[in-house]
A and B are shown apart, each in its own frame.
Chain A
Amino acid sequence: MAIDRDEVLRIARLARLHIDPAEADALALDLARIVAHIDALRDVEIPPELETLTYFGSDVVRGDRPGDCLPAPEALANAPQREGSHFLVPKVVDKEGEAGGAGGGA
């Protein structure tokens, strides 16, 4: 798999990560070398019985029971911006239910 500048910028949009164009060139070179190395896995023969085996036998989930949680003032203490007892963020819905704003679009 070839990774070039455009591919880096595509992945960065998925990851909601701003990358400068100059940085994208350097990252494309790094990622191309790394992916060439991990591509070694593509040649490995995997026994058929392992096809469905994953590392953990099953998911472990916590019981759905109410418990103690951080009081609101403590949870808000690290917020970069807040208003009253809420985290403050830019407007999420622009118009006609369209989510986003600049930089969006995965």
Chain B
Amino acid sequence: MTALHELGAAALAAKVRAREVTALEVAEAHLERAQRLNAHLNAFLHLDAEAVRREARLLDRRLAGGDEAGPLAGVPVAIKDNISVAGSPTTCASRILAPYVAPYDADVVERLRAAGAIPFGKTNLDEFAMGSSTENSAFGPTRNPHDLAHTPGGSSGGSAAAVASGLVPLAIGSDTGGSIRQPAAFCGIVGLKPTYGLVSRYGLVAFASSLDQIGPFARNVEDAQLLLSVLAGHDARDATSSPRGFAATGGEAPTSLSGLRIGVPEECFAEGLAPEVRAAVGAAIASLSRLGAEIIDVKLPLTRLGIPVYYIVAPSEASSNLARYDGVRYGLRGAGEGVHGLFAATRGEGFGREVKRRILLGTFALSSGYYEAYYGRAQRVRAAMRNEVDEVFRCVDLLASPTTPTVAFRLGEKSEDPLAMYLNDVLTVHANLCGVPAISLPCGRSTHGLPIGLHLTGPRFGEASLLRAARAYEGASGEGHRWPPEPTS
């Protein structure tokens, strides 16, 4: 018999709905595993077992009383620790928010509860989601479950590691420049960044507001689709929230992609791509072709400017968003003389090195004399990038590329070289800058056994087509989540 932690979200919810298993039994199975394996992975920053049991018992009582079971009935969902859950710490993996307890639920958490899901702990991240390895957490790095000496990617590394190891079937993360898709690729699972505006950010701690999106992690595409259908929808509390929702389409994975045109941007296969990644993604594109998709070479020359544009826009917005951490209303308070001394001491003491680096970079780009040369120019190049990709989507339905230039790197390998770490985002920032949806799904492994991700990008609000192609590839290729070895000792 399949253990409960091995089941996907759709299968678990079906069992809870059919009363084959209680929400409490599902919760206990995952709590046992999370409490045992988290010592090796450091995926969770906070996991209140009693709160999880309380929520599960409450759901069981409601179902026994005849309440309708939601689409995620009894499914544990881990939540990145930059998303508010009422009564839980929300630290953003930062010393500056270490004492903070969220007084309200994020919109996505309200939607999870309404769908019957059980909020299941808060996961580790790079401080304020700034990083690509989860090593920038003030509370220690998360480890890649496939090889504990390697990073899980970031910034949503805790969510990715938790799903890959079966501590939870689903998790949510946030993606500002690749923070869902890159860790999904490194941990061998599915991660999706939705179209800008599809999922409300109310209750997400802001990093770079024109780029941030919340999205799902799952071990298969069907579960990612199911979770997205719960998360998506209009929310008046987020001024960028779109009235367009997203409905999951059930049924079997499609067996043909006939009529679908998939563009392959040559810029995404440039120098610096590891040979194993190039080979695995090439094989995946051949598989999409065998499914009937038409493969078309396309050009997106401005993608080469993605990193310079991103590392002006994101730190500029971050320097403004993070001005709120001043030691007055919440969080850490440092000891400084006078009110300005208090602000500077609190921030100097509370922020880690990478956050300081980005605040300084953003303040510099926005400062008098430099604003036009950096921020103004970056915004215009960004507009040109968006026009360029819109033009390409007149000729193709989706784009296919690698998610990352390499497989997961070793802990410590890039942590002292910020520019090398930034360049790791070279293939993912484009979707955030253009506001389009993109998914990463497993497409093979390196000789060392580390997962490789296939990246599919769609036009704005093209999630249905994106997920259809992803499901077809997953079904036909036989690639997908594989269980990591159980850590010992």
Contact = CB atoms under 8 A, between A and B. Distances in A.
A46 to B, nearest CB: 5
A16 B340 contact: yes
B405 to A, nearest CB: 16
B239 interface: yes
B364 A41 contact: no
Given A17-B360, A19-B356, A78-B100, A53 B383 contact: yes
A89 interface: yes
Contacts of B360: 8, 11-12, 15, 17, 27, 31
A16 B210 contact: no
B336 interface: yes
Contacts of A15: 319, 323, 347, 359-360, 363
Contacts of A16: 323, 326, 340, 343-344, 347
Interface residues of A, number: 59
Given A14-B363, A17-B359, A55-B210, A38 B312 contact: yes
Contacts of B387: 50
A84 to B, nearest CB: 15
B103 to A, nearest CB: 5
Interface residues of B, number: 66
Contacts of B349: 18
Given A34-B419, A44-B381, A53-B380, A103 B330 contact: no
Interface in A56-79: 56, 60-62, 70, 74-75, 77-79
Interface string B139-169: 0000000000000000000000000000000
Nearest to B341: A103
Interface of A: 1, 3, 7-8, 11-12, 14-20, 23, 27, 30-31, 33-35, 37-42, 44, 46-47, 50-51, 53-56, 60-62, 70, 74-75, 77-81, 87, 89-92, 94, 99-105
Given A54-B379, A78-B329, A87-B329, 11 more contacts: A15-B360, A27-B353, A27-B360, A31-B364, A41-B309, A54-B383, A60-B239, A80-B331, A101-B337, A103-B342, A104-B339
